[in-house]
Amino acid sequence: MKKIVLALAVGMGVAFSSFGQDFYSPGERDYWLQKAQEYLPELTERVVTPKGVVDIVGDASCFQGWKAVSSSSIQAFYERPLKSQSGVVLDFGDHLTGYFTIVVSPMNSTPDAPARIKFTFGEVPSELATPFDPYRGGLGRAWLQDETVTVMTVPDTITIPRRLAFRYVKVELLHAPNYEFTVSHASCKAVTSVSATPEPLPATVPPLIRDIDRVGLNTLKECMQTVYEDGPKRDQRLWIGDLYLEALANMYSFKQHGLTKRCLYLLAALADESGYLNASVFERPYPHPQAKQMLYDYALLYNVALKNYLEATGDRQTAEDLWKVAKRQLDIAAPYLQDNGLLDFEKANKDYWIFFDWRDGLHRETAFQGVTIYAYQQTLELAKLLGMEKEVAHLPGHIKRMTAAARKYLYDKKTGLFTGTANKQVSYTSQVWMILSGVATKAEAQRAIRALQTAKGVVRPGTPYAYHYYIQSLVDCGMEAEAKEALTGYWGGMVQKGADTFWEAYDPENDRLSPYGFFPINSYCHAWSCTPVYFIRKYPGIFQ
297 lies in the site for ligand RAM, by CB under 6 A: no
Q: How far is the CB of 139 from ligand RAM (least distance, A)?
A: 8
Residue range at the interface with ligand RAM (CB under 6 A); choices 20-28, 236-244, 330-338, 445-453: 236-244
Residues that contact ligand RAM, how many (by CB under 6 A): 8
The mark string for 487-506 relative to ligand RAM (x by CB under 6 A, - otherwise) is: -----------------x--
Q: Tell me, what amino acid is at 50?
A: P
Q: How far is the CB of 367 from ligand RAM (least distance, A)?
A: 14
Residue range at the interface with ligand RAM (CB under 6 A); choices 127-135, 237-245, 425-433, 486-494: 237-245
Q: How far is the CB of 365 from ligand RAM (least distance, A)?
A: 19
| CA-to-CA dists, residue 245 to 249, 316, 412, 442, 535, angstroms | 6, 21, 31, 24, 11
| Complex with ligand RAM: residue 98 or 462, whichever CB lies closer | 462
- Contact present, 122 and 168 (Cβ < 8 Å): yes
| Complex with ligand RAM: residue 14 or 139, whichever CB lies closer | 139
Annotate 414-434 with DSSP letters as a single string: TTTEE--SS----BHHHHHHH
User: Most distant CA pair in the chain: distance in Å?
Assistant: 84
246 lies in the site for ligand RAM, by CB under 6 A: no
301 φ, ψ to 5°? Answer: -70, -20
Which listed residue (528, 534, 539, 543) binds ligand RAM by CB under 6 A?
A: 528
| Complex with ligand RAM: residue 62 or 139, whichever CB lies closer | 139
Q: How far is the CB of 518 from ligand RAM (least distance, A)?
A: 14
Nearest-angstrom CA–CA distance, 234 and 291: 18
Residue 170 zone, left/alpha/beta (φ > 0; ψ -120 to 50; rest):
beta
- Contact present, 209 and 115 (Cβ < 8 Å): no
Residue 424, Cβ neighbours under 10 Å: how many? 12
**Start-to-end C-alpha separation, the chain:** 46
- Contact present, 501 and 123 (Cβ < 8 Å): yes
| Complex with ligand RAM: residue 22 or 357, whichever CB lies closer | 357
Nearest-angstrom CA–CA distance, 105 and 505: 41
295 DSSP β-pair partners: 353
222 lies in the site for ligand RAM, by CB under 6 A: no
Contacts (Cβ under 8 Å, ≥6 apart) of 190: 45, 46, 47, 48, 96, 97, 98
Which listed residue (242, 297, 444, 500) binds ligand RAM by CB under 6 A?
A: 242
Helices (H), 20-163: 26-38, 74-79, 126-129
Which listed residue (63, 239, 323, 469) binds ligand RAM by CB under 6 A?
A: 239
Residue range at the interface with ligand RAM (CB under 6 A); choices 18-26, 168-176, 207-215, 234-242: 234-242
| Complex with ligand RAM: residue 239 or 535, whichever CB lies closer | 239
511 lies in the site for ligand RAM, by CB under 6 A: no
| Complex with ligand RAM: residue 234 or 398, whichever CB lies closer | 234
Nearest-angstrom CA–CA distance, 499 and 123: 9
Which listed residue (230, 272, 365, 482) binds ligand RAM by CB under 6 A?
A: 230
| Complex with ligand RAM: residue 230 or 482, whichever CB lies closer | 230
365 lies in the site for ligand RAM, by CB under 6 A: no
Q: How far is the CB of 243 from ligand RAM (least distance, A)?
A: 9
DSSP state of 445: H
Burial bucket for residue 146 (CB in 10 Å: 0-12, 13-18, 19+): middle
Query: Taking the alpha carbons of 490, 496, 499, 501 in that order, is the dihedral positive or negative?
Result: positive
Half-sphere exposure of 107 (CA within 13 A, CB side): 14
Q: Find the length of the chain.
A: 544
Q: How far is the CB of 316 from ligand RAM (least distance, A)?
A: 29
| Complex with ligand RAM: residue 220 or 406, whichever CB lies closer | 220
Cis (ω within 30 of 0) for the bond into 206? no
147 DSSP β-pair partners: 119
Residues 399-438 that bind ligand RAM (CB under 6 A): none
Residue 211, Cβ neighbours under 10 Å: how many? 18
| Complex with ligand RAM: residue 271 or 530, whichever CB lies closer | 530
Residues 324-363 that bind ligand RAM (CB under 6 A): 355
Which listed residue (22, 123, 235, 283) binds ligand RAM by CB under 6 A?
A: 235
| Complex with ligand RAM: residue 111 or 216, whichever CB lies closer | 216
Residue range at the interface with ligand RAM (CB under 6 A); choices 235-243, 250-258, 264-272, 369-377: 235-243
Q: How far is the CB of 350 from ligand RAM (least distance, A)?
A: 18
Nearest-angstrom CA–CA distance, 210 and 214: 6
Q: How far is the CB of 142 from ligand RAM (least distance, A)?
A: 15
Instruction: Tell me which residues touch ligand RAM (CB under 6 A).
Output: 230, 235, 239, 241-242, 355, 504, 528
